[in-house]
Amino acid sequence: MKNLKIPENYTNPLNVNDTEKAIKLVKETFEQNLSAELKLRRVTAPLFVLQGTGINDDLNGVERKVTFPIQDMDMAEAEVVNSLAKWKRLALAEHQIEPGYGIYTDMNAIRPDEVLDNIHSLYVDQWDWERAMHEGERNLAFLQQTVTKIYEAMKRTEYVICEHYPQIEPQLPNTIQFIQTEDLLKEYPNLTGKQREYEAAKKYGAVFIAGIGGPMSNGEKHDGRAPDYDDWITSTSDNYRGLNGDIIVWNDVLKDSLELSSMGIRVNRESLLEQLRVSNSEDRKALDFHRKLLNNELPQSIGGGLGQSRICMYYLRKAHIGEIQSSIWPEAMRKEAAGNGIHLI
């Protein structure tokens, strides 16, 4: 299978039963630490939303959504969420969350267009979180402060896992490195965005790459972002744009970069209008979510998602996300993985 990477001399550190116990430990530990660091409380979230409300996440704008008609609502179309980036901001307003506090929830999605490999699955599970903030905190310093708190939760979780399973050694560096997409472009001008992520993760061990979605000096984007949740257009200095980014670590098992989180300060009225304009998406202004935001009915916030299975995969030193979650895989992938000591659930 061309999409399956077999690590050289791979040894699974935990058997199937111990893996299930360890998954529970990772999720409970990280969830507790994340909520404490960011002052978040858990809320219940939807699995699907009504089509045409503008609530669902469009990701890169090209992925298909899983939809179905609702018989008892005159066959109105519902769609499985891709993430809860916009729903959470509505929830902050509904729960009247004060700045400095926030919410988190379990998000589950189905993404039928994913190319299946060691880290991509049809099934997505992540912690989605959102925190109310003051308008005056719309800056890189506040973004980096928040990333640092999340990273502290990551380090404490790794410590707990390594204490319970001594065969797993800690790998996260003491601090996370902050770097702009523009700086990465200058350092590696002949590489693609993903190749630059590889080099940064290998060099630093853990990085936050900021400014994803807007054009860089070469006219290209590091990666795509929807225009209506993260702010990737606001100028943060004379040279840089963007109040969002990704947390990426070095995966020593696969010898590759591994994105664990996408997050950012959310758009305000001005940045939403500009991002809709440059993305040729101004028709969205008529949707419910966008109208509320343009009418200043939603709180300023920061938020993101953290991949649950990917985080477990990283901490438990697994070679394939299918060793963490139950999903559908090509039979040829299952056979080749099993022949190399990789048990897909």
Give a yes or no: residue 208 inside a domain. Answer: no
Take residue 235 and report the two structure tokens written for it: 């100028």
* Neighbouring C-alpha atoms within 13 Å toward the C-beta of 104: 21
Give a yes or no: residue 52 inside a domain. Answer: yes
Range of the domain at 33: 16-171+261-338
pLDDT band of 211, cuts 50, 70, 90: very high
Give a yes or no: residue 220 inside a domain. Answer: no
CA distance 308 to 330: 22
Q: pLDDT tens digits for 254-300?
A: 999 999 999 999 999 999 999 999 999 999 999 889 999 999 999 99
Identify the three-state secondary structure at position 182. Answer: helix
pLDDT band of 61, cuts 50, 70, 90: low
Q: pLDDT tens digits for 43-57?
A: 999 999 888 887 877
CA distance 219 to 127: 33
CA 64, 67, 69: angle at the middle one, nearest 5? 155
- Residues in Cβ contact with 227 at an 8 Å cutoff, skipping those fewer than 6 apart: 267, 272, 275, 276, 278, 279, 281, 284
Q: What percent of the chain has pLDDT over 90?
A: 86
Whether the pLDDT of residue 13 is over 80: the answer is yes
Give a yes or no: residue 242 inside a domain. Answer: no
In eight-state DSSP terms, residue 215 is B
Give a yes or no: residue 215 inside a domain. Answer: no
Residue 256, Cβ density class (10 Å: 0-12 exposed, 13-18 middle, ≥19 buried): middle
DSSP string, 217-273: TTS-BSS---TTSB--SSBSSSS-B-SEEEEEEEETTTTEEEEEEEEEEBP-HHHHH
Other CB atoms closer than 10 Å to residue 263's CB: what's the count? 23
Give a yes or no: residue 203 inside a domain. Answer: no
- Contact status, residue 223 vs residue 274, Cβ threshold 8 Å: no
Whether the pLDDT of residue 176 is over 90: the answer is yes
CATH number of the domain residue 73 falls in: 3.30.930.10
Which residues are designated catalytic?
Answer: 57, 111, 126, 246, 259, 262
Q: Average of pLDDT values for 90-95?
A: 94
Take residue 38 and report the two structure tokens written for it: 């960011």
Q: 307 — phi, psi (to 5°)? A: -65, 115
- Contact status, residue 305 vs residue 246, Cβ threshold 8 Å: no
To the nearest 10°, report the CA torsion of 92, 98, 101, 105.
Answer: -20
Give a yes or no: residue 196 inside a domain. Answer: no
Look up the pTM and report it.
0.94
Domain count of the chain? 1
Q: 293 — phi, psi (to 5°)? A: -65, -45
Closest CA to 223 of 77, 62, 110, 94: 62
- Contact status, residue 132 vs residue 100, Cβ threshold 8 Å: yes
Give a yes or no: residue 131 inside a domain. Answer: yes
Whether the pLDDT of residue 229 is over 70: the answer is yes
Other CB atoms closer than 10 Å to residue 175's CB: what's the count? 13
Other CB atoms closer than 10 Å to residue 78's CB: what's the count? 19
Q: Which amino acid is at 284?
A: R
Q: pLDDT tens digits for 139-154?
A: 999 999 999 999 999 9
